[in-house]
Amino acid sequence: MEKTFTFDRPDPCNAFIKICENITYGEGPLSGISVGIKDNISTSGIETTCGSHILQGYIPPYNAHVVTLLRSAGAAIVGKTNMDEFGMGTTTETSSFGPTKNPVDPTRAPGGSSGGSAAAVRSGLVRLALGTDTGGSVRCPASFCGIVGLKPTYGRVSRYGLIAYANSMEQIGPMAANVRDCALLYSVIAGYDPRDGTSVDKPAPAPVSPVIAGKKIGVPAEYFGEGVDPAVAETVTEAIEKLADLGAEIVPCTMPSMKYALAAYYVTSMSEASSNLGRYDGVRYGMAPEMVQPWHEAFSAIRRSGFGEEVRRRILLGSFALSAGYQGKYYAKAQAARQMVRDDFARLFAEVDIIAGPTMPTVAFRLGEAADPLSMYLADILTVPANLAGIPAISVPCGEAHDLPVGLQLMGRHFAEDEILSAALAYE
């Protein structure tokens, strides 16, 4: 039997773009549990904007697969959470609907792009939230807000109904205040869906008990290298010592491909974005253009006013990288570098079970601090390798630096979510 309630709690951090008027829920493992959904995940009958002016007023006619799963598990979907426009950012400040504030310190950004989901969980507005992680967007805000966030293996969670940014790398992931809740939400959304051609038909066990003793944990030197705040490095080093105290064997290692990872990620993600965002012409989705003639001027006008600066920058750079004569120089090289990252992980996972390091090189930025796009891109260096390789990775709170939360990142072999979740449970 369905039950209904209304939600009248204030949202001072601007975690939500939209809060539903009548919230319904049913029976099941998530019965009555409040969930926030990132606004790039389609919800039937509920406006879905991707944080972009261009999609304002767009009401999807169908649910994403994960939303169908949540509804059948009895979850109470509270609303749609704020995000960087189309997921392009690391602070939630590129949203067309104003930035989200970090509940830990409202002068700081919550991280991004799933900053609204992290802020909604951290401020207690919802118990669970869904984010998406193309290059770190679940793990970064989890780290900055002091909560748990998991990026599943590529192919583990259906992307059906997820509005694409860079589809070869992104996954929908669970976010929660603790590992057990994160595992609970993971167990509901993981699994095969024939409507997503990249979905993989494998059993997705959720962990039942904490396991860390006897595990080999690789710690790449590059995760503590240049650009990583020494105070963050120290907090994470202590967390890794705790893993050793719990019986794990720590194995120092190196990941030489790290020096190419960020470039490979940005060339790949911008190229895919330039293609994926071609559909927003104001005719098929979202804002209706003024039908000025000729048609290409109408399309340009709508895209110029509907997309924000960061999205336009990436469409232009991505189109350039893919244009005739330059593909070999940029896109093909990025794919070769991506393969080097995969090869590094394959080599390491022949020796160790888990790879650990900081999730982010710094603590949460001040609002406005990451205004320069290049410095914003640099912050993704520790999260993008997992997306390039498609492996699962979790961020777990592990203490503080400068009085702000720090995340410990644990990466696992393909489809070994249960292993990193079990380790995270033991750590917590």
Residues that bind ligand GLN (CB under 6 A): 87-90, 113, 133-137, 165, 269, 380
Per DSSP, the three-state class of 421 is: helix
d(CA 419, CA 178): 16
Nearer to ligand GLN, 139 or 215 (CB): 139
Bridge partners, residue 105, by sequence: 102
Nearer to ligand GLN, 34 or 383 (CB): 383
Q: Find the shortest distance in angstroms from Cβ 13 to ligand GLN.
A: 20
**Choosing from 137, 158, 199, 257, which is the catalytic residue?**
137
For residue 211, the minimal CB distance to ligand GLN (Å) is 28
Least Cβ distance, residue 270 to ligand GLN (angstroms) = 8
257 is catalytic: no
Q: Which is nearer to ligand GLN, 264 or 425 (CB)?
A: 264
Identity at 279, one-letter amino acid code: R
Cβ closest to ligand GLN, residue 199 vs residue 383: 383
Amino acid at 220: P
Cβ proximity of 152 and 186 under 8 Å: yes
> Residue 204: how many CB atoms within 10 A of its CB?
18
In angstroms, give the least distance from the CB of 12 to ligand GLN: 25
* Least gap, CB of 317 to ligand GLN (angstroms): 12
Smallest distance from ligand GLN to CB 174, Å: 15
What ranges in 150-294 are assigned the alpha helix state H?
A: 179-189, 230-245, 258-276
Full strand arrangement of the beta sheet holding 404-412? 16-19, 76-81, 34-38, 128-133, 171-176, 148-151, 393-401, 404-412, 354-358, 216-220, 249-253
Angle between helices 179-189 and 417-427 (to 10 degrees): 160
Q: Which is nearer to ligand GLN, 137 or 257 (CB)?
A: 137
Alpha-carbon gap, residue 270 to 60, rounded angstroms: 25
The residue among 161 and 218 lying less far from ligand GLN, judged by its C-beta, is: 161
- Beta strands 16-19 and 76-81, pairing class: antiparallel
Q: How far apart are the first and last CA of the chain?
A: 36
CA pair distance 41, 62, nearest whole angstrom: 10
H/E segment holding residue 70: helix 65-72
Q: Which of 42, 52, 113, 114 is catalytic?
A: 113
Active site residue 113: yes
| Residue number, 172 or 253, with CB nearest to ligand GLN | 172
Residue number with the shortest CB distance to ligand GLN? Answer: 137
Question: Shortest distance, CB of residue 97 to ligand GLN, whole angstroms?
Answer: 17
In 125-196, where does DSSP find H-type helix? 139-145, 179-189
Distance CA 43, CA 113 (A): 19
Label the pairing between strands 128-133 and 354-358: unpaired
Q: Closest CB to ligand GLN among 25 and 365? A: 365
Confirm whether 271 is a catalytic residue: no
Q: Which of 256, 415, 212, 427 is nearest to 348 (CA)?
A: 256
Exposed, middle or buried, 86 (CB in 10 Å: 0-12/13-18/19+)?
A: buried
Out of 38, 101, 151, 215, which one is annotated catalytic? 38
Q: How far apart are CB 42 and ligand GLN at their closest, in Å?
A: 16
Lookup result for tokens 């204030």: 10
Query: Which amino acid is residue 81, in one-letter code?
Result: T
Active site residues: 38, 113, 137
